[in-house]
């Protein structure tokens, strides 16, 4: 007699799914010549969905830069669909800096280690584990669930989400709400209180290239018109500048909920005193109360004794909602005359409110798995594919649930060395995501 196949529970399967995804190198350098195409990972996802009878649509604007969209039909076709999106690319990792090989998916000390473990192949694996479990039991969600696994998020989404939105919006037809990174993760206040930060907003992307020109010449001579000096001085002025504090509606909501949770009386117009007490997560929250500008690259010259005629720098600027033009004006004033400014990438901020049935479903799902959970809204200092999907009128949230160890510096793991995700937190996320999607 043939025994029926025994399939792993989603909370067990998610471990292998996450490890297998990490092992597929999808490094996105931002340079098409050196970026590792996402197609092998996309085909791997399509195969995992096909195993349980879910058909995928693969789309790519250029060979290898592949994204996937799949639709799971719900029981009520009259309702708007929920978009669940995650990107498949990762930032580079230097093996010499890591304690483990960054693409090995190694298990150690209760964690899965590797580039993408929390940004964001963990969530990709959670989603796959949940929907594969549904298909094996014949479960259908109450509304259509549209899955999107995208390319190129780490370089601005040009070959991924933006391409889908601009060239294939029909694949996202009917989507009214969305969830993706970075939200739903825990911040432990005490044994009886864990705050779960749900993303309702994210800052705009304003990546700039600054340039200076001068007279080229011999490095041994007196030279007053030096492009390298000009760009270095401009970058130093900009990089050291602290922009003024502005409390946006999303940040005000965060502070209000935080005060209620902690039983404190706070002045929402003076947020720095409170944010400084949040530990490592303050690096994320602290960047959401002002515009920021961080120099990231410098380029000049071709020989030690030749003064070049041109020098350039790139600056990662992030603007508060509605403040992109203001930020550009501030940058122009800081860098001074004679410095050219051009946009490398410019995408607007995204912002919604912390209310409605979807937020209620998040809250209920978290509290069902963690009675000490208290969800609160916040703004992400970075950017996600939500910027692209929001242009279709989709209301976007960051909700990729994780219960984290109290001593884990979660913020440092994003694009950092020794990126890793706790296995127990990953399994917690599967349970929460399953409850949430069934109730959404």
Q: Are residues 161 and 296 in the same domain?
A: no
CB 30 within 8 A of CB 93: no
CATH code assigned at 109: 3.40.630.10
117/14 Cα distance (integer angstroms): 12
Residue 234 domain boundaries = 204-240+291-347
Q: Are residues 210 and 169 in the same domain?
A: no
CB 250 within 8 A of CB 351: yes
Q: Which of 299, 332, 347 is the C-terminal boundary of a domain?
A: 347
Q: Are residues 182 and 295 in the same domain?
A: no
Q: Are residues 324 and 376 in the same domain?
A: no
Q: Are residues 190 and 325 in the same domain?
A: no
pLDDT value at residue 268: 66
Q: Is residue 261 in some structural domain?
A: no
Q: Is residue 38 in some structural domain?
A: yes
Q: Which of 315, 330, 347 is the C-terminal boundary of a domain?
A: 347
Q: Are residues 169 and 307 in the same domain?
A: no
Longest alpha-carbon distance in the chain: 91
Q: Are residues 403 and 314 in the same domain?
A: no
Q: Is residue 272 in some structural domain?
A: no
- Give the mean pLDDT per block of 10 residues along the chain (440 residues): 61 97 97 94 98 98 97 94 98 96 97 97 98 96 98 95 97 98 92 94 96 92 90 96 92 87 75 75 84 95 94 96 94 95 94 96 97 95 94 97 94 92 98 97
Note if the pTM is more than 0.85. Answer: yes
pLDDT value at residue 6: 52
Q: Is residue 262 in some structural domain?
A: no
Strands across the sheet containing 420-422: 107-108, 111-113, 420-422
Q: Are residues 48 and 96 in the same domain?
A: yes
Scan for tokens 């800096």, then name that residue: 97
137/229 Cα distance (integer angstroms): 66
Element (H, E) at 102: none
CB 245 within 8 A of CB 285: no
Q: Are residues 14 and 83 in the same domain?
A: yes
pLDDT value at residue 17: 98
Q: Is residue 339 in some structural domain?
A: yes
DSSP 253: H
CB 418 within 8 A of CB 112: no
52/92 Cα distance (integer angstroms): 32
Distance between first and last Cα of the chain: 41
pLDDT value at residue 3: 45
Residue 133 CA, distance from chain mean position? 26
Q: Is residue 52 in some structural domain?
A: yes
Q: How many domains is the chain built from?
A: 2
Q: Are residues 59 and 183 in the same domain?
A: yes
CATH code assigned at 311: 3.30.70.360
Q: Which residues lie below 8 Å from residue 40, measured CB to CB, with a gap of 6+?
A: 24, 26
Q: Which of 300, 327, 347 is the C-terminal boundary of a domain?
A: 347
Q: Are residues 41 and 116 in the same domain?
A: yes
pLDDT value at residue 235: 96
Q: Is the CA virtual torsion 73, 75, 81, 83 positive or negative? A: negative
The tokens of 145 are what? 């669930």
Torsion on CA atoms 349, 65, 417, 85, rounded to nearest 10: 50
The tokens of 383 are what? 């950017």
Q: Is residue 274 in some structural domain?
A: no
Q: Is residue 364 in some structural domain?
A: yes
315/344 Cα distance (integer angstroms): 9
Element (H, E) at 49: helix 39-50
The tokens of 100 are what? 């483990």
Q: Is the bond leading into 120 cis (omega within 30 degrees of zero)? A: yes
Angle of helix 39-50 relative to helix 121-137, nearest 10 degrees, comes to: 20
Q: Are residues 17 and 155 in the same domain?
A: yes
Q: Please list the alpha-helical segments (H only) found in 115-248.
A: 121-137, 161-167, 227-240
């Amino acid at each position: 007699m043939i025994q029926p196949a025994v399939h792993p529970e989603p909370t067990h399967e998610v471990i292998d799914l996450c490890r297998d995804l990490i092992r597929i190198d999808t490094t996105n350098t931002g340079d098409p010549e050196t970026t590792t195409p996402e197609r092998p990972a996309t085909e791997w996802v399509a195969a995992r969905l096909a195993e349980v009878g879910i058909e995928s649509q693969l789309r790519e604007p250029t060979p290898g830069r592949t994204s996937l969209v799949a639709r799971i039909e719900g029981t009520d076709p009259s309702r708007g669909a929920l978009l669940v999106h995650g990107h498949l690319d990762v930032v580079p990792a230097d093996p010499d800096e890591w304690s483990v090989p960054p693409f090995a998916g190694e298990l150690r000390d209760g964690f899965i280690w590797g580039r993408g473990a929390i940004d964001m192949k963990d969530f990709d694996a959670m989603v796959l584990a949940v929907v594969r479990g549904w298909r094996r039991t014949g479960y259908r969600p109450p509304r259509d669930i549209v899955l999107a696994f995208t390319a190129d998020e780490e370089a601005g989404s040009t070959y991924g989400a933006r391409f889908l939105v601009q060239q294939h919006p029909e694949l996202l037809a009917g989507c009214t709400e969305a969830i993706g990174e970075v939200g739903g993760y825990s911040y432990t206040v005490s044994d009886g209180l864990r705050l779960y930060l749900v993303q309702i907003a994210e800052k705009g992307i304003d990546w700039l290239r600054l340039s200076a020109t001068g007279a080229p010449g011999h490095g041994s001579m007196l030279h007053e018109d030096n492009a390298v000096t000009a760009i270095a001085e401009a970058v130093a002025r900009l990089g050291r500048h602290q922009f003024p504090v502005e409390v946006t509606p999303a940040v005000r909501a965060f502070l209000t909920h935080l005060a209620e949770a902690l039983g404190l009386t706070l002045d929402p117009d003076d947020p720095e005193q409170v944010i400084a007490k949040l530990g490592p997560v303050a690096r994320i929250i602290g960047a959401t109360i002002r515009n920021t500008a961080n120099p990231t690259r410098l380029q000049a010259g071709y020989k030690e004794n030749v003064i070049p005629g041109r020098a350039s720098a790139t600056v990662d600027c992030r603007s508060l909602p509605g403040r992109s033009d203001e930020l550009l004006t501030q940058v122009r004033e800081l860098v001074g005359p004679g410095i050219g400014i051009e946009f490398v990438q410019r995408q607007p901020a995204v912002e919604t409110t912390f209310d409605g049935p979807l937020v209620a479903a998040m809250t209920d799902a978290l509290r069902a798995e963690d009675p000490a959970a208290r969800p609160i809204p916040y703004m992400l200092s970075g950017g996600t594919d939500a910027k692209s999907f929001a242009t279709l009128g989709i209301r976007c949230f960051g909700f990729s649930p994780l219960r984290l160890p109290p001593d884990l510096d979660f913020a440092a793991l994003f694009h950092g060395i020794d990126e890793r995700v706790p296995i127990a937190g990953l399994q917690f996320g599967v349970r929460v995501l399953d409850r949430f999607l069934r109730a959404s």
